[in-house]
Amino acid sequence: MTIGIEEANREALDRIFRAEPVWTGVRPAGEVIEGLGEGILLHAGPPIEWERMCGPLRGAVAGAIVLEGWAGTLDEAAKLAESGDIAFHPNHHFGAVGPMTGITSRSQPVMIVENKAFGNRSFCTLNEGLGKVMRFGGNDEAVIDRLRWLGDTLGPALAAALESAGGVALKGIVARGLSMGDEMHQRNVACTSLLLRELAPALARTSPDAEKLAGILEFIGGNDQFFLNLGMAIGKAVMDPARDIEGSTVVTAMSRNGTDFGVRVSGTGDAWFTAPVEMPAGLYFPGFSEADANPDMGDSTILETMGLGGFAMAAAPAVAGFVGAGSAADALNCTRTMYEITSGRSPEWTLPALDFQGVPTGIDIMKVIETGIAPVINTGIAHKEAGIGQVGAGVVRAPMACFEAALEAFAEKMGVDSE
Determine if 160 is a binding residue for its own copies (CB under 8 A). no
Applying CB under 8 A, the span of 96-104, 190-198, 385-393, 402-410 interacting with its own copies comes to 190-198
Amino acid found at 374: A
Q: Is 122 exposed, middle or buried (0-12, 13-18, 19+ CB in 10 A)?
A: buried
Interface residue with its own copies among 107, 179, 333, 337 (CB under 8 A) is: 179
Q: What gap in Å lies between CA 235 and CA 62, rounded to an integer? A: 28
Minimum distance, C-beta of residue 182 to its own copies, in the bound complex (Å) = 8
Strand-strand pairing, 40-43 and 87-90? parallel
Q: How far is the CB of 252 from its own copies (least distance, A)?
A: 31
Q: Is 328 in the site for its own copies (CB under 8 A)?
A: yes
The yes or no reply on residue 189 touching its own copies (CB under 8 A) is: yes
Beta bridge mates, 123? 96, 112
Phi, psi angles (nearest 5°) of residue 195: -65, -45
Question: Is 163 a residue that touches its own copies (CB under 8 A)?
Answer: no
HSE-up of residue 66 (Cα within 13 Å, Cβ side): 24
Q: Which among 96, 131, 130 is positioned nearest to 110, based on CA atoms?
A: 96
Q: Considering only residues 31, 82, 152, 218, which one is a binding residue for its own copies as defined by CB under 8 A?
A: 218
For residue 144, state whether it binds its own copies (rule: CB under 8 A): no
- 347 interacts with its own copies by CB under 8 A: no
Tell me which stretch binds its own copies (CB under 8 A): 29-37, 106-114, 179-187, 260-268.
179-187
Q: Which of 26, 78, 202, 237 binds its own copies (CB under 8 A)?
A: 202
Torsion of the alpha carbons at 169, 172, 176 and 177, rounded to the nearest 10: 50
- Decide whether 37 or 352 has the Cβ nearer to its own copies: 352
> Could you tell me if residue 244 is left (phi over 0), alpha (psi between -120 and 50 degrees) or otherwise beta?
left
- Residue 73: count other Cβ atoms within 10 Å of its Cβ: 11
Cα-based distances in Å from 128 to 137, 172, 223, 245, 380: 12, 24, 8, 36, 14
65 interacts with its own copies by CB under 8 A: no
47 part of the interface to its own copies, by CB under 8 A = no
Rounded CA separation 43/52 (Å)? 13
Q: Is 193 in the site for its own copies (CB under 8 A)?
A: yes
Q: DSSP class of residue 183?
A: -
Among the listed residues 71, 144, 217, 281, the single contact to its own copies using CB under 8 A: 217
Q: Smallest distance from the beta carbon of 240 to its own copies, in angstroms?
A: 30
> Do 402 and 275 meet the contact criterion of CB atoms below 8 Å apart?
yes
State the minimum distance, in angstroms, from the CB of residue 180 to its own copies: 4
Q: CB 227 → its own copies: shortest distance, Å?
A: 12
- Using CB under 8 A as the binding rule, whether residue 395 contacts its own copies is answered as no
Q: Is there binding between residue 205 and its own copies (CB under 8 A)?
A: yes
Distance CA 316, CA 332 (A): 9
Largest CA distance in the chain: 68
Does 181 engage in binding with its own copies (CB under 8 A)?
Answer: yes
Quick one: which of 40, 48, 81, 190 contacts its own copies (CB under 8 A)? 190
> Shortest gap between Cβ of 139 and its own copies (angstroms)?
29
Under the binding rule (CB under 8 A), the answer on residue 324 touching its own copies is: no
Round to whole Å and give the CA distance between 175 and 324. 25
Helix, strand, coil share of the chain (percent; to 5) = 50, 20, 30
318 near its own copies, judged by CB under 8 A: yes
The answer to whether residue 184 forms part of the interface with its own copies (CB under 8 A) is no
Number of residues that bind its own copies (CB under 8 A): 37
Which residue's CB is nearer to its own copies, number 181 or number 269?
181
Q: Does 130 bind its own copies (CB under 8 A)?
A: no
Residues at the contact surface with its own copies, assessed by CB under 8 A: 176, 179-181, 189-190, 192-194, 196-198, 200-202, 204-205, 208, 210-211, 213-215, 217-218, 220-221, 317-318, 321, 327-328, 352-356
